Amino acid sequence: MTGVGNNSVTHAVIGEEEEGQRLDNFLIRRCKGVPKSHIYRILRSGEVRVNSGRVDATYRLCTGDNVRIPPIRIAERPQNEVDEAAKERVDLPIIYEDEAMLVIDKPEGIAVHGGSGVSFGVIEALRRQRPQAKFLELAHRLDRETSGVLLVGKKRLALTALHDMFREHGAGADKRYLVLVKGRWMNTTQHVKLPLYKYLTEGGERRVSVNPEGKASHTIFRLLARWPDMSLLEAQLKTGRTHQIRVHLAHLGFPILGDEKYGDFALNKNLKRDGLKRMALHAWRMAFRHPLTATPVEYIAPLPDSFGSYILTVNRKKDPEFKSENLEEILSRK
């Protein structure tokens, strides 16, 4: 989303994470510092549009909706501070780039876009670092705590093709993650099909749970290594639900190490003392067809040191009970 501003209309394309939110709640969360009375006034007046049409404040947003937000005055950090933060603090390694898209190795701890208390994210940083770029838009999203492969469209045609690909719920892209979990995972391959339901806590935070009323979700987990008290898995997404991997694993009793929303909170404190200071979830590989040429492509984000060094530390203390044939190749990729 382009930043909400004082002097211009902005547009937000709704992603999977925002799906299901009421329009008024979405605007309140995005427009920090704007009185609720003003939010409801621009809703009643029809200045806010969804897909070019007027909708009620209670409208539930859908993935792909285009929300028009009129110029509004908001309380925010001075723009020069945001500019400097975007230029100086965000290191965005580029895995691949052509005229259609950017493939970024997103660091953990950085949001993909600003909002909900975050002044800037990957997309804002890219726009500040590349002022000559005419078009830069996120093709999909990663959680703030997750690192790895992130696609950005550089042309509208390419972005539309990538959006269509992700809407195919796994058929258009092969997305694989590396994840460390608590416990001894035994099955070499396990299909998990558990419906996921999104809701908001009393404090307004987004959460997901396994619930029969939720949306169909499918993850394939493959065992890469197992130690007495933790396991390394590859997770292949066949659907793209919010927090899908995190909730599936937590529900099965194998929470992700370092997960501050669905994990083992007491264990996480000990992990920080032992050197794991992040959530152990990394989007390491994505294969799909190029959005303009349809040529098969594959991009890999090597396991970051913040993740890989902890595995090496564990390995030095105790040999794994099990390890896959491709484990060393995965851990050694640079």
- Show which residues are catalytic: 143
| Spatial separation of the C-alpha atoms in residues 45 and 68, rounded to whole Å | 13
Residues of 98-129 as b/e, b for ≥16 C-beta within 10 angstroms?
eebbbbbbbbbebbbbbbeeebbbbbbbbbbe
Contact 85, 120 (CB under 8 A): yes
Ramachandran category for residue 51: left, alpha or beta (phi over 0 → left; psi -120 to 50 → alpha)? left
Give the Cβ contact number of residue 261 at 10 Å: 18
Query: Pairing relation of β-strands 196-200 and 218-226?
Result: unpaired
Instruction: Determine contact, residues 263/255, Cβ cutoff 8 Å.
Output: yes
Distance CA 223, CA 235 (A): 9
